[in-house]
Amino acid sequence: MRLPRARLTLSTMLFLPLVAHSFQYPTILHTLKNKLHTATQRLQHHLTPNLHPVSSSPLLTLHKSLVEIPSVTGDERAVAEWLATYLTSKNFTVETQSVGDFGEAWGTENCTSKRRENVYAYYGSRRDVHTLLTSHIDVVPPYIGYKETSNAIYGRGSCDAKASVAAQITAVEELRAAKDSILSPEGGDVGLLFVVGEEVTGDGMKLASEINPGWKTVIFGEPTELKLAVGHKGIAEFTVRAEGRAAHSGYPQLGINANSNLIKALYELDRVELPSSKLLGNSTVNIGQINGGVAANVIPAAARAVASVRVAGDLEETVRRINEAVGGVEGVTIEWFPTPHYGPVELDWDVEGFETIICSYGTDVPNLPGDHKRYLYGPGSILVAHGDNEHVLKSDLFTAVAGYKKLIQESLNPTRRAPALYVEKIVELEVETAAEGVEAQTEAGAAAEAVEPATHHPVVSIVQKEKVYVGDEL
């Protein structure tokens, strides 16, 4: 029998050696597969047709209008006025709340002398709605213009947080327009609140708390990668100041070098161990600004550094440890900013169907006090927010609308389940004592059960507290 002749093509000649070699080195095929996948993704990004042109989508059109209006913190009036007009055209009842000049909240050096407004909207005449959706309309500088690609939208605020603003409005509009709408025709179910100043002092949300008619659920919009946030770290900012005495650099003994003292203080700051938590992990310190001295040939008389701490543990203990570490350096003092200054924030995440996330950035959540439920959710990633390539995927915007609708529905008609609360779990351990101390003899995985003590040693009971989530095995 005559076998058919094999055809050797260029691709076959290149592929066969790899196959043969892979029997000795299996990782080669794995590496090749990963590279091929990466290349395919890059090609897809450039070759995928524009399935969601902005002009054909009310959601994307709304998002575009918001992003195209510059609204760096302190200069939000134009976007607030546009938003109020838009919501009025969609049959919302709209209230605006004057927040005041940016300079009143942040200092005269940054004052823009432009009035700023929060925007509160709801259907009908009932302003005391059950569920509130809220986000912020200010952005960080500098302004970056709007740009669309086949699958993404770029520009300042495209992600943080005008993506949330557009998705929240669209979610409420779609629920309202649905044939079997869960929203009452008389209103009173859902409202929208869009505030200024979140990126700096949170003055917009702090003032908005004065108009709180008793919201039962508040859904905050921030870039959480379409996941429900379990919690986020707190934040506190401070200035470290070093005072010295100026002198000629050729005679350093006649002066006191403020820079040297500041460096010693910052060294101690970097070394300090701060409180942490199982939920949020470690607290972190960022030394963001350093200034000192007037010239290379002058002993510096003054120096300062501005730093922030992302607080994962107890706020008061965090402040105490930093004060102790920095205050131990001669000629150095520390001054804490009055705002932002808050500890860790725990959130509600008891809605099924969402992945969860823990955030290290700050939000307006602690600026709206009350006993309402607090959800944090939105499209986009914080990893690109504030950067020169800030963007959001178009698909994320559409997914976020569905996510907000689900959260609204759950807030109005909650599914009955055990609440996802962060509680203390009491575990009693039986521990044997020895002459040198106490040795725990419990087995892994059996912490809640007494363990047979070793011979010749008396047994004592120790109560151990652990924080767990309701729903975990107790």
- Compute the distance between CA of residue 36 and CA of residue 272 in angstroms, rounded to an integer: 46
Find the catalytic residue in 76, 198, 390, 410. 198
Measured in degrees and rounded to the nearest 5, phi and psi for residue 154 equal -110, 155
Give me the DSSP letters along 315-372: HHHHHHHHHHHHHTSTTEEEEEEEEEEE--EE-----TT--EEEE-S--SGGGS-SSS
Residue 430 annotated to the active site: no
On whether the CB atoms of residues 261 and 305 are closer than 8 A, the answer is: no
- What are the start-end ranges of the H helices in 217-339? 258-271, 315-327
Contacting residues for 358 by C-beta, under 8 A, at least 6 apart = 229, 230, 231, 232, 279, 280, 281
* Ordered DSSP codes for 372-412: SEEEEE-SS-TTTTTSTT-EEEHHHHHHHHHHHHHHHHHHH
d(CA 307, CA 304): 10
Which residues, 6 or more positions from 204, have their beta carbon under 8 angstroms from its beta carbon? 99, 116, 118, 136, 138, 195, 196, 197, 198, 364
Q: Scan for tokens 């100026």, then name that residue.
A: 246
Do 280 and 358 meet the contact criterion of CB atoms below 8 Å apart? yes
3-state secondary structure 181-197: CCCCCCCCCEEEEEECC
Alpha helices in 134-184 (DSSP H): 162-177
Widest distance between CA atoms in the chain: 104
Exposed, middle or buried, 272 (CB in 10 Å: 0-12/13-18/19+)? middle
The Cα 291–Cα 294 span in angstroms is: 10
Tell the residue number behind the tokens 């919201």, with chain if given: 215
- Whether the Cβ atoms of residue 347 and residue 374 lie closer than 8 Å to each other: yes
Which of these, 168, 225, 235, lies nearest to 200 by C-alpha position?
235
Question: What's the gap between Cα 141 and its chain centre?
Answer: 18
SS3 state of residue 166: helix
Cβ neighbours of 9 (radius 10 Å): 8
Residues annotated as catalytic are: 198
